[in-house]
Amino acid sequence: MLAGIAAELRGALGILAKRDVQIPARYLSGKPGAGDAAGAGGASDATGAVHRPAALGDDCAAIPDGDGYLLLAAEGIWPTFLEGDPRFAGYSAVMVNVSDIYAMGGRPIAVVDVVWGTSAGALEPVWEGMVAASRAYGVPIVGGHTSARSPYNALAVAIAGRARRLITSFAARPGDVLVAAIDLRGRMHAEHPFWNASTATDPARLRGDLEVLPALAEAGLCDAGKDISMGGVAGTLLMLLETSGVGAVLDVAAVPRPGDVRDLSIARWLLAFPSYGFLLSVRPDAAGAVLAAFARRGIASAAVGAVDGSRRLTLAAAGERQTLWDLSAEPLTGFAGEGAR
């Protein structure tokens, strides 16, 4: 069983697309022949050393600012998704940016957008969706760029936020417990691997559920994790392991999963993009408190594996094990933490 799941995951576009990140990783690495790293990602001093305001490869740029951090992030929307469901694409563009901010223990401030359309009519549903998400999550749209004179339709949204204490992709440690938290009170999108637990949900509940993340960070209960994005649990965990320079064993059967959806295979669920989903790397003595925090909000959560020093992601189920990816031999995004170098 696991060999088939691993083969399906390795060939999935949501995971393979993460390799595209190797392009900016190469240009921003500061390595010889990697382009103008100083101009792209920071400034150099007289010694030639590059000084960057934030670590690269996280859900947001986290820039130290006073007693906390300014968070900046941006997301582009997959063109096929935008063409097929423009209203939900507009909604999702805001939603995923909001999730990135909370994933790092922060709270959003505002978003800006870049919208290109072939006509005013093409822009209407996109804007309807963005405004609906802005109201649902209580995050204002404060500016951007709109054009109805483009030969194609395109959408990107950027966000700013603030955090007092961070949850980052760089802090997973061997011995940590992997915790997956997913709001299962939703449904699958008809055409795309999106689990929608947002558009029909009371806005007050949406905001309260997201507040779990900064509360965990500020209480010192969690400092490592990511939101589950395109690539699902499997792709998100690979990125977390790569930036932290560690490996893990993932118990695929333990991942919270809806029980009443037909034809939802384990592999398909491990690739799904939930509107509310987080994968956290938690010290063992804090795991109980973290699980309890999600349970109080009615969010399904579970310990789904353990972090180790192998730099491999290994799938496990019913006593069987299968290596999904060896990051020491095959990078995914190219943004590797110090422990991986």
pLDDT digit of tens for each residue in the chain (341 aa)?
Answer: 899 999 999 888 788 888 888 888 888 875 433 333 333 344 433 433 333 446 788 999 999 999 999 999 999 999 999 999 999 999 999 999 999 999 999 999 999 999 999 999 999 999 999 999 999 999 999 999 999 999 999 999 999 999 999 999 999 999 999 999 999 999 998 888 899 999 999 999 999 999 999 999 999 999 999 999 988 999 999 999 999 999 999 999 999 999 877 567 899 999 999 999 999 999 999 999 999 999 999 999 999 999 999 999 999 998 999 999 999 999 999 988 654 54
What letter would DSSP give residue 270? H
CA dist 146 and 114 (Å) reads: 6
CA dist 25 and 302 (Å) reads: 32
Number of Cβ within 10 Å of residue 239's Cβ equals: 24
The tokens describing 308, both together, are: 């180790």
Which amino acid is it at 152? Y
What letter would DSSP give residue 77? P
Classify 47 as helix, strand or coil: coil
CA dist 92 and 22 (Å) reads: 25
Q: Which of 102-119 are b and which e, b meaning 16 or more Cβ less than 10 Å from the residue's Cβ?
A: bbbbbbbeebbbbbbbee
Number of Cβ within 10 Å of residue 22's Cβ equals: 15
CA dist 168 and 240 (Å) reads: 9
